Copies of this chain bind each other. A is one copy, B any other.
């Protein structure tokens, strides 16, 4: 999960992920969309793949990548668990605080 968080923390990798979320793409296609070199794309794809966020499939010399929904779903679940019930509790608390501030000053 660590790996997935680091993977999406980089803007270039988020752009890349957006692309393969829409449709399956070869490395070269991604490279020209993002306007970086092939190797750079390759290395980002290693990171995303090790994070479980993309799947690879080969067709001849072309390596085709697409987003892996299970990986994204796990990331979402991890984050929900991370802030958990505390986030809802804090939001209510903040609202209550704001309300009492207003009542004091108006």
Which of B5, B8, B14, B90 makes the CB contact (< 8 A) with A69?
B90
Q: Is the CB of B73 within 8 A of A87?
A: yes
A64 → B minimal CB distance (Å): 15
Q: Is the CB of A83 within 8 A of B21?
A: yes
Interface extent on A, as a size class?
Answer: 20 to 34
Q: Is the CB of A90 within 8 A of B9?
A: no
Interchain CA distance A20-B21 in the complex, whole Å: 34
What are 14 of the A-B contact pairs (CB < 8 Å)?
A5-B5, A6-B9, A8-B9, A14-B82, A21-B86, A67-B90, A69-B87, A69-B91, A70-B91, A70-B94, A72-B83, A72-B87, A76-B79, A76-B83
